[in-house]
Structure 1
Amino acid sequence: MPDKNEIERRKQIKKELREKAKLEFENSLPISREKFTQLFHFLDEKLGEYDCDDSLKLTNEFLQEYKIENIQEVKNWLQENGGYCDCEVLNNVEEMFDDNAIL
Protein backbone atom coordinates (compact mmCIF):
# COMPACT_ATOMS: atom_id res chain seq x y z
CA MET A 1 0.00 0.00 0.00
CA PRO A 2 1.44 3.41 -0.96
CA ASP A 3 2.45 5.78 1.82
CA LYS A 4 1.04 9.30 2.27
CA ASN A 5 3.78 10.91 0.19
CA GLU A 6 3.14 8.53 -2.70
CA ILE A 7 -0.61 9.15 -2.52
CA GLU A 8 -0.06 12.91 -2.60
CA ARG A 9 2.40 12.57 -5.49
CA ARG A 10 -0.16 10.55 -7.48
CA LYS A 11 -2.89 13.12 -6.77
CA GLN A 12 -0.60 15.89 -7.98
CA ILE A 13 0.23 13.97 -11.16
CA LYS A 14 -3.48 13.39 -11.87
CA LYS A 15 -4.21 17.07 -11.28
CA GLU A 16 -1.41 18.11 -13.65
CA LEU A 17 -2.64 15.68 -16.32
CA ARG A 18 -6.21 17.06 -16.05
CA GLU A 19 -4.93 20.62 -16.34
CA LYS A 20 -2.78 19.69 -19.33
CA ALA A 21 -5.74 17.97 -21.04
CA LYS A 22 -7.94 21.03 -20.45
CA LEU A 23 -5.29 23.34 -21.87
CA GLU A 24 -4.78 21.13 -24.92
CA PHE A 25 -8.54 21.03 -25.48
CA GLU A 26 -8.84 24.83 -25.22
CA ASN A 27 -5.90 25.28 -27.61
CA SER A 28 -7.52 22.92 -30.13
CA LEU A 29 -10.71 24.98 -30.41
CA PRO A 30 -11.10 26.65 -33.83
CA ILE A 31 -13.46 29.28 -32.36
CA SER A 32 -13.94 30.62 -28.86
CA ARG A 33 -15.62 28.63 -26.11
CA GLU A 34 -18.24 31.40 -26.01
CA LYS A 35 -19.08 30.89 -29.70
CA PHE A 36 -19.40 27.16 -29.13
CA THR A 37 -21.81 27.83 -26.28
CA GLN A 38 -23.83 30.08 -28.56
CA LEU A 39 -23.79 27.37 -31.24
CA PHE A 40 -25.08 24.78 -28.76
CA HIS A 41 -27.93 27.08 -27.68
CA PHE A 42 -28.77 27.84 -31.31
CA LEU A 43 -28.85 24.14 -32.22
CA ASP A 44 -30.86 23.25 -29.14
CA GLU A 45 -33.47 25.83 -30.09
CA LYS A 46 -33.55 24.97 -33.80
CA LEU A 47 -33.62 21.21 -33.26
CA GLY A 48 -36.64 21.77 -31.03
CA GLU A 49 -38.39 23.15 -34.11
CA TYR A 50 -36.89 20.94 -36.84
CA ASP A 51 -35.66 17.38 -37.06
CA CYS A 52 -32.00 16.73 -37.74
CA ASP A 53 -31.46 15.97 -41.42
CA ASP A 54 -28.14 14.16 -40.76
CA SER A 55 -26.11 17.15 -41.91
CA LEU A 56 -24.46 20.22 -40.44
CA LYS A 57 -27.01 22.47 -42.14
CA LEU A 58 -28.00 24.37 -38.98
CA THR A 59 -24.40 24.54 -37.75
CA ASN A 60 -23.39 25.99 -41.09
CA GLU A 61 -26.26 28.49 -40.86
CA PHE A 62 -25.02 29.60 -37.43
CA LEU A 63 -21.40 29.91 -38.61
CA GLN A 64 -22.44 32.02 -41.59
CA GLU A 65 -24.81 34.17 -39.53
CA TYR A 66 -22.03 34.97 -37.06
CA LYS A 67 -19.56 35.58 -39.89
CA ILE A 68 -17.13 32.91 -38.74
CA GLU A 69 -14.24 33.04 -41.19
CA ASN A 70 -12.86 29.52 -40.71
CA ILE A 71 -16.09 27.60 -41.29
CA GLN A 72 -14.46 24.55 -42.85
CA GLU A 73 -11.93 24.33 -40.01
CA VAL A 74 -14.77 24.46 -37.46
CA LYS A 75 -16.75 21.78 -39.31
CA ASN A 76 -13.64 19.58 -39.58
CA TRP A 77 -13.01 20.00 -35.84
CA LEU A 78 -16.62 19.11 -35.05
CA GLN A 79 -16.43 15.97 -37.17
CA GLU A 80 -13.11 14.95 -35.61
CA ASN A 81 -14.89 15.17 -32.26
CA GLY A 82 -18.03 13.22 -33.17
CA GLY A 83 -20.19 16.01 -34.60
CA TYR A 84 -21.09 14.71 -38.06
CA CYS A 85 -24.55 16.28 -38.01
CA ASP A 86 -26.35 18.94 -35.99
CA CYS A 87 -27.80 16.55 -33.41
CA GLU A 88 -24.41 14.88 -32.92
CA VAL A 89 -22.86 18.30 -32.28
CA LEU A 90 -25.28 18.59 -29.37
CA ASN A 91 -25.04 14.98 -28.21
CA ASN A 92 -21.32 14.37 -28.63
CA VAL A 93 -19.47 17.66 -28.80
CA GLU A 94 -21.36 19.75 -26.26
CA GLU A 95 -20.55 17.30 -23.47
CA MET A 96 -16.85 17.83 -24.14
CA PHE A 97 -17.29 21.38 -22.90
CA ASP A 98 -18.39 20.20 -19.48
CA ASP A 99 -15.37 20.78 -17.23
CA ASN A 100 -15.92 17.36 -15.70
CA ALA A 101 -15.68 15.63 -19.08
CA ILE A 102 -12.01 16.46 -19.56
CA LEU A 103 -10.31 14.26 -17.02
Structure 2
Amino acid sequence: MKTIADLRAALIAAQKLTGQSSFDRRAPASKAIPPLLAAKAEISRFIAEHGDSAEAWRLLSQAQECLLGYATARESFEKALSLSPQRSPKDLKHLVLLREYESKWKDLPLTPDELQRLGRHLSDVLATQACDHTARLTKAWLAEFSPGKQDQKLKALRHWGGYCDCEVLGNAVQGTA
Protein backbone atom coordinates (compact mmCIF):
# COMPACT_ATOMS: atom_id res chain seq x y z
CA MET A 1 0.00 0.00 0.00
CA LYS A 2 1.21 3.48 -0.82
CA THR A 3 2.04 6.04 1.83
CA ILE A 4 0.70 9.59 1.98
CA ALA A 5 4.05 10.77 0.61
CA ASP A 6 3.71 8.38 -2.35
CA LEU A 7 0.16 9.57 -3.00
CA ARG A 8 1.23 13.22 -2.80
CA ALA A 9 4.08 12.59 -5.25
CA ALA A 10 1.76 10.83 -7.72
CA LEU A 11 -0.77 13.65 -7.50
CA ILE A 12 1.89 16.33 -7.98
CA ALA A 13 3.23 14.49 -11.04
CA ALA A 14 -0.29 14.31 -12.49
CA GLN A 15 -0.96 17.97 -11.68
CA LYS A 16 2.13 19.00 -13.62
CA LEU A 17 0.62 17.42 -16.73
CA THR A 18 -2.68 19.33 -16.45
CA GLY A 19 -1.52 22.71 -17.74
CA GLN A 20 -3.45 24.31 -14.85
CA SER A 21 -2.18 26.92 -12.45
CA SER A 22 -3.18 27.05 -8.81
CA PHE A 23 -5.77 29.76 -9.29
CA ASP A 24 -6.61 29.41 -12.97
CA ARG A 25 -8.43 26.13 -13.42
CA ARG A 26 -9.41 24.88 -16.83
CA ALA A 27 -10.11 21.43 -18.13
CA PRO A 28 -6.95 19.36 -17.63
CA ALA A 29 -4.88 18.36 -20.63
CA SER A 30 -6.02 14.99 -21.92
CA LYS A 31 -2.65 13.39 -21.08
CA ALA A 32 -3.20 14.32 -17.41
CA ILE A 33 -6.59 12.64 -17.01
CA PRO A 34 -5.43 8.99 -16.64
CA PRO A 35 -2.78 9.84 -14.00
CA LEU A 36 -5.25 12.11 -12.18
CA LEU A 37 -7.89 9.39 -12.12
CA ALA A 38 -5.31 6.85 -10.96
CA ALA A 39 -4.11 9.17 -8.18
CA LYS A 40 -7.71 9.86 -7.14
CA ALA A 41 -8.46 6.12 -7.01
CA GLU A 42 -5.33 5.39 -4.94
CA ILE A 43 -6.16 8.19 -2.51
CA SER A 44 -9.75 6.93 -2.17
CA ARG A 45 -8.43 3.41 -1.54
CA PHE A 46 -6.05 4.77 1.11
CA ILE A 47 -8.94 6.53 2.86
CA ALA A 48 -11.08 3.38 2.76
CA GLU A 49 -8.29 1.22 4.22
CA HIS A 50 -6.72 3.59 6.75
CA GLY A 51 -9.67 5.52 8.09
CA ASP A 52 -9.88 9.23 8.30
CA SER A 53 -6.73 11.13 7.46
CA ALA A 54 -6.97 14.88 7.04
CA GLU A 55 -4.01 14.84 4.66
CA ALA A 56 -5.55 12.12 2.48
CA TRP A 57 -8.83 14.04 2.29
CA ARG A 58 -6.88 17.16 1.25
CA LEU A 59 -5.15 15.20 -1.50
CA LEU A 60 -8.48 13.79 -2.67
CA SER A 61 -9.89 17.31 -2.78
CA GLN A 62 -6.94 18.48 -4.89
CA ALA A 63 -7.41 15.61 -7.36
CA GLN A 64 -11.13 16.34 -7.63
CA GLU A 65 -10.43 20.03 -8.13
CA CYS A 66 -7.99 19.30 -10.96
CA LEU A 67 -10.75 17.26 -12.61
CA LEU A 68 -13.11 20.24 -12.14
CA GLY A 69 -15.31 18.35 -9.70
CA TYR A 70 -15.77 21.37 -7.46
CA ALA A 71 -18.74 20.03 -5.46
CA THR A 72 -16.89 16.86 -4.48
CA ALA A 73 -13.63 18.79 -4.00
CA ARG A 74 -15.39 21.13 -1.58
CA GLU A 75 -16.95 18.20 0.30
CA SER A 76 -13.59 16.44 0.59
CA PHE A 77 -11.87 19.64 1.71
CA GLU A 78 -14.57 20.21 4.34
CA LYS A 79 -13.97 16.65 5.57
CA ALA A 80 -10.23 17.38 5.76
CA LEU A 81 -10.92 20.53 7.76
CA SER A 82 -13.20 18.65 10.14
CA LEU A 83 -10.38 16.17 10.81
CA SER A 84 -7.69 18.85 11.21
CA PRO A 85 -6.88 20.07 14.71
CA GLN A 86 -6.86 23.68 13.54
CA ARG A 87 -7.88 25.75 10.53
CA SER A 88 -5.59 28.32 9.03
CA PRO A 89 -6.77 31.48 7.27
CA LYS A 90 -5.34 29.95 4.09
CA ASP A 91 -7.62 26.92 4.52
CA LEU A 92 -10.67 29.12 4.92
CA LYS A 93 -9.73 31.15 1.84
CA HIS A 94 -9.36 27.95 -0.16
CA LEU A 95 -12.77 26.75 1.01
CA VAL A 96 -14.31 30.04 -0.14
CA LEU A 97 -12.54 29.68 -3.49
CA LEU A 98 -13.88 26.14 -3.94
CA ARG A 99 -17.39 27.37 -3.18
CA GLU A 100 -17.03 30.18 -5.72
CA TYR A 101 -15.80 27.81 -8.43
CA GLU A 102 -18.57 25.35 -7.60
CA SER A 103 -21.15 28.11 -8.00
CA LYS A 104 -19.64 29.40 -11.24
CA TRP A 105 -19.54 25.96 -12.83
CA LYS A 106 -23.08 25.24 -11.69
CA ASP A 107 -24.26 28.45 -13.42
CA LEU A 108 -22.50 27.56 -16.69
CA PRO A 109 -24.71 25.16 -18.67
CA LEU A 110 -21.73 23.64 -20.50
CA THR A 111 -19.71 20.75 -19.20
CA PRO A 112 -15.97 21.27 -18.72
CA ASP A 113 -15.41 18.94 -21.70
CA GLU A 114 -17.77 20.97 -23.91
CA LEU A 115 -16.06 24.18 -22.85
CA GLN A 116 -12.65 22.71 -23.64
CA ARG A 117 -13.80 21.51 -27.08
CA LEU A 118 -15.39 24.90 -27.82
CA GLY A 119 -12.11 26.54 -26.83
CA ARG A 120 -10.08 24.29 -29.13
CA HIS A 121 -12.48 25.00 -32.00
CA LEU A 122 -12.34 28.77 -31.50
CA SER A 123 -8.58 28.70 -31.07
CA ASP A 124 -8.12 26.73 -34.30
CA VAL A 125 -10.47 28.92 -36.35
CA LEU A 126 -9.30 32.24 -34.91
CA ALA A 127 -5.68 31.27 -35.63
CA THR A 128 -6.49 31.40 -39.34
CA GLN A 129 -8.99 34.26 -39.47
CA ALA A 130 -9.61 37.40 -37.47
CA CYS A 131 -12.56 37.64 -35.12
CA ASP A 132 -15.48 39.48 -36.72
CA HIS A 133 -16.60 40.51 -33.22
CA THR A 134 -19.76 38.43 -33.31
CA ALA A 135 -20.49 35.11 -31.64
CA ARG A 136 -21.05 33.48 -35.04
CA LEU A 137 -18.52 30.66 -34.54
CA THR A 138 -19.67 30.01 -30.98
CA LYS A 139 -23.33 29.86 -32.02
CA ALA A 140 -22.53 27.46 -34.88
CA TRP A 141 -20.47 25.20 -32.61
CA LEU A 142 -23.16 25.16 -29.93
CA ALA A 143 -25.84 24.33 -32.50
CA GLU A 144 -23.81 21.37 -33.77
CA PHE A 145 -22.12 19.98 -30.67
CA SER A 146 -24.16 21.20 -27.68
CA PRO A 147 -27.74 21.50 -28.87
CA GLY A 148 -30.49 22.71 -26.60
CA LYS A 149 -30.78 25.79 -24.43
CA GLN A 150 -28.54 27.77 -26.79
CA ASP A 151 -29.86 31.13 -25.54
CA GLN A 152 -29.12 30.12 -21.94
CA LYS A 153 -25.62 28.99 -22.88
CA LEU A 154 -24.89 32.21 -24.79
CA LYS A 155 -26.20 34.27 -21.88
CA ALA A 156 -23.90 32.39 -19.49
CA LEU A 157 -20.93 32.90 -21.82
CA ARG A 158 -21.74 36.64 -21.99
CA HIS A 159 -21.88 36.69 -18.19
CA TRP A 160 -18.28 35.45 -18.27
CA GLY A 161 -17.35 38.25 -20.71
CA GLY A 162 -17.83 36.33 -23.96
CA TYR A 163 -19.75 38.71 -26.23
CA CYS A 164 -17.90 37.72 -29.40
CA ASP A 165 -15.86 34.66 -30.39
CA CYS A 166 -12.48 36.05 -29.32
CA GLU A 167 -13.97 37.13 -25.97
CA VAL A 168 -15.58 33.71 -25.51
CA LEU A 169 -12.12 32.21 -26.01
CA GLY A 170 -10.22 34.72 -23.87
CA ASN A 171 -12.70 35.37 -21.08
CA ALA A 172 -15.20 32.55 -20.89
CA VAL A 173 -13.19 29.50 -21.94
CA GLN A 174 -9.85 30.44 -20.41
CA GLY A 175 -11.36 32.53 -17.61
CA THR A 176 -13.71 29.88 -16.24
CA ALA A 177 -11.16 27.32 -15.89
Which segment drifts farther, 51-60 or 67-76?
Answer: 67-76
Give the letter aligned to residue 52 of structure 1: C
Tell whether 2:104 aligns with 1:25: yes
Identity of aligned residues (%): 26
Unaligned runs of 5+ in 1: 1-6, 99-103
Structure 2 equivalent of residue 101 of structure 1: none
**Does residue 36 of the first structure (1) align with residue 145 of the second (2)?**
no
The answer to whether the 8 Å contact 2:118/2:138 transfers is yes
What is the TM-score when the length of structure 2 is the normalising length? 0.49
- Kindly tell me the number of residue pairs found equivalent between the two proteins: 92
8 Å Cα contact 2:108-2:157 kept in structure 1: no
CA distance in structure 2 between the aligned counterparts of 1:67 and 1:41, rounded to whole angstroms? 14
Whether the 8 Å CA contact 2:162–2:172 is kept in 1: the answer is: yes
User: Quick one: which of 56, 66, 73 aligns to 2:135?
Assistant: 56
- For residue 164 of structure 2, the aligned residue among 74, 85, 95 is 85
Structure 1 residue 77, shift from structure 2 partner:
0.7
Gaps of at least 5 residues in structure 2 are 1-85
For the structure 1 residues 69 and 25, does the alpha-carbon distance in structure 2 shift closer, same or farther, using more than 3 Å as the test? same
RMSD, aligned CA: 1.6
Please say if residues 135 and 165 of structure 2, whose CA atoms lie closer than 8 Å, have aligned partners that are also in contact: yes
Q: Computing the radius of gyration over CA atoms, which structure comes out larger, 1 or 2?
A: 2
Q: How does 1:84-103 map to 2 (within 5 A)?
A: 84-98=163-177
Report how far residue 9 of structure 1 moved. 3.0
Question: Which one scores higher on RCO, CA 8 angstroms, separation ≥ 6?
Answer: 1
SS at match of 2:90: helix
Which consecutive aligned stretches of 4+ in structure 1 deviate over 3 angstroms post-superposition?
none
